[in-house]
Chains A and B, each alone.
Chain A
């Protein structure tokens, strides 16, 4: 059996202090860094394979010019991936703790041996990389090739391991019932995601190499064309992307797929951006390099790399967004409440468990508003701000007060991205009052709203909404319960 998170400590947003990011949504912090990291890491992984390929071309006499590119590409790899790639990777971990400590805590609890194994791969990558970087010119051809093979396999290994953990978040598969980490690791989206990412790695490496090649002095135009042609095997796998993408979509939960394919305009738009950009890069790569119909100069390669960066961003956005309202599907909601906790928190209240005071308590004219702010902090702030990105003020400030109550009580029905409300009727009213107060630009006086009839109405609405996630999610997943 998968662990019952409700039985574990630390699974409540209030188990940890929550920081305020001002106008920035927390997802933007992790997403922004994530895109950067994924881009660099995938470039580095593909770079390993590319270097191996070029070394082989040079040694086998198929393309002696390849040798001249290797050291320069490797230097870029070391400067970018060993520094920025590695540190943004550590940064992802530390940022995950900042954004949702319970989520990363659950991931660590479940997959620490996988991460520890990945750590061994990091070491192999670092040692092989530095050995090649420092001593490559003093090694025999065979030793160089072996070192590069080790380096690229270790790099790919780290993708293999992390891919299992990340895809588990969206499709935990059999883990949910068996608790077996291997069922979680080799989950339904593991293979399509791994293969898709591998293709991306190869393309990014080829684009990086094209930029370096064009920047290097000492090559004639014909020589550059010859070397560029050798990059085409790294673009060709892009032809498989539509199939891999379709496989990935098919393996996703139906509701997530529904959002991407029209259910959520933003997600659909990002999906189209990712698909269109990939088609553009793949098309250019195949036509220019493989069919040799066109030349890829430094500016074009840089532009294509920038488009690839955008596509990576869009892809990561889709991957993160498709999980909503969960951070680990069927196990942990984005706000670190577990599905099993919702019903009990509606009885006991989410604030009863929060030891952390408000830092600006004196700014609120009433106790109820302070409570409302705390409810916001515990249940909403992981995805919303008050006035910045995805602002509650903009989203619901104008709603009538009854509408606010009803829509928050039936949160998962209001928008399938959101988890059910996990607090008492009194807490819900406090939240609604707090948002109304913010919308009124924080006046110095604000009436308390403690009408038992209102609380009774809210309780009724909470009951009607039920403690389960979005009915749409369940419907699409074919669940009987929702109907």
Chain B
């Protein structure tokens, strides 16, 4: 596309009245199914990669958010401070010990969607970054401080007191939440191309606090069941030398957290949808409706599974396997819904998904992906085997 034409398109949208530019206004969005059938294959491939790698990021990010909150609660209850004579709490210490690795993994996993979003939605992602400017860039020092604060919570040699640990956990939790909020705001802003010039000029607002709060709290509640499941699996696999008694103790709180958070997430999602007036009409498409039904069904089915875990006070049965499958399905379906919504809102604007020129390197990527997965599996197996033989 000719750059002048592109800019003319930008200007045309810039001239749109501010009220039409605000996100709450209804927009005649095209049908996502039709859009998908018109997209070039290469764009579709990048969108699929974006969805897949984003889903991976979401898994670790969920654990990070949930784990930070859990650790904060544990720190306040004195679980990490020898002076409080707190009872043995393997769940709390396991989560605390794994949080730095989880956050590192969330960051590492975030790099791939960061790459693919720049290919498909270069214009909207960059523009949102630029409009947020300082608030966006602050997420980096925020994360750095958050990780060091988590190391303080974990430290044995200094910072033993309950107050210090609680403060450090609170700092980490707030800063991790800040990062999540920055991503939410960036995402919402990236969906408002018509409003960008006015937002830049200060004559229109970006996403409202209400919408950011709703979307973020939806994420937060959706993160907690994933966290609960992963923590349950950790104990089941023997992290922190968990005994059967430790697992029994952890089962009920984790299940209660997951059930309450699932219900809350669904409620908030409903309200958020209502506030957005279903602006992208994504549910009138087969793919959007399909993703939503899948997500809803997986969430509903998860509730009795968690109730079983709570009733049996056990992390050993098949319920955790079913929950694992349901969680993966939920995260994937949510990622599909998220992309379908974005596609519908940006199609037809000059921030529509791009068709990148074909470039080399795919074969190398695939070869190293296979090799990398092989090496990672080997490392995990070797360590697990070695630990098992040493414990026996």
Contacts and interface: CB of A to CB of B under 8 A. Distances in A.
Interface size class of A (residues with CB under 8 A): 35 or more
Contact of A126 (B2, B105, B356, B359): B105
A466 B106 CA distance: 50
B30 interface: no
A9 B356 contact: no
Interface string A92-123: 01110110010011001111111111011111
A94 B386 CA distance: 40
A424 to B, nearest CB: 14
A90 B140 contact: yes
Interface stretch (A77-85, A260-268, A302-310): A77-85
A51 to B, nearest CB: 16
Given A15-B3, A90-B107, A113-B360, A95 B379 contact: no
Nearest to B142: A87
B126 A139 contact: no
A3 B147 CA distance: 41
Contacts of A474: none
A403 to B, nearest CB: 32
B3 A356 contact: no
Nearest to B391: A138
Contact of B364 (A79, A94, A105, A114): A114
Given A9-B3, A10-B6, A97 B108 contact: no
B376 A182 contact: no
Interface string B69-113: 000000000000000000000000000000001001101101110
Contact of A17 (B107, B111, B196): B196
B130 to A, nearest CB: 5
Given A9-B350, A139-B386, A117 B365 contact: yes
A90 B110 contact: yes
A453 interface: no
A128 B3 contact: no
Contacts of B13: 355
Contacts of B140: 87-88, 90-91, 94
B200 A17 contact: yes
Nearest to A21: B133
Interface in B222-274: none
A105 B3 contact: no
A333 interface: no
Contacts of B201: 356-359
A17 B390 contact: no
Contact of B112 (A108, A119, A130, A140): A119
Contacts of A352: 4, 7
Contacts of B144: 83-84, 87
B7 A119 contact: no
Which size class do B's interface residues fall under? Answer: 35 or more
Contacts of B379: 127-128, 131, 147, 150
A156 to B, nearest CB: 14
Interface in A12-49: 12, 14-19
Contact of B104 (A108, A124, A130): A130
Nearest to A183: B360
A348 interface: yes
B156 to A, nearest CB: 13
B123 interface: yes
A69 B15 CA distance: 65
B265 to A, nearest CB: 28
Contact of A180 (B107, B116, B148, B360): B360
Contacts of A119: 108, 111-112, 115
A114 B383 CA distance: 30
Contact of B129 (A9, A94, A115, A123): A94
A5 to B, nearest CB: 9
Given A138-B390, A356-B200, A356-B201, A123 B372 contact: yes
B1 interface: yes
Contact of B108 (A16, A83, A122): A122
A240 to B, nearest CB: 29
Given A109-B359, A130-B104, A143-B386, A94 B137 contact: yes
A11 interface: yes
Interface string B142-170: 01100110010000000000000000000
Given A111-B361, A113-B365, A135-B387, A98 B130 contact: yes
A88 B144 CA distance: 9
A97 B133 contact: no
A115 B365 CA distance: 9
A83 B197 CA distance: 36
A333 to B, nearest CB: 14
A72 interface: no
B391 to A, nearest CB: 9
Contacts of A114: 361, 364-365
A353 B127 contact: no
Contacts of B329: none
- The list of the 4 closest CB pairs from A to B, nearest first, reads A113-B361, A353-B7, A357-B201, A120-B372
10 contacts: A16-B123, A90-B114, A112-B359, A113-B360, A120-B371, A128-B379, A131-B383, A150-B375, A341-B3, A355-B13
Given A7-B2, A17-B131, A355-B7, 16 more contacts: A9-B6, A15-B10, A16-B127, A16-B130, A17-B197, A86-B108, A97-B130, A101-B126, A116-B115, A116-B361, A117-B364, A126-B104, A344-B4, A352-B7, A356-B201, A359-B201
Interface of B: 1-4, 6-8, 10-11, 13-14, 101, 104-105, 107-108, 110-112, 114-116, 118-119, 122-123, 126-127, 129-131, 133, 136-137, 140, 143-144, 147-148, 151, 196-197, 200-203, 350, 354, 356-357, 359-362, 364-365, 368-369, 371-372, 375-376, 379-380, 382-383, 386-387, 390
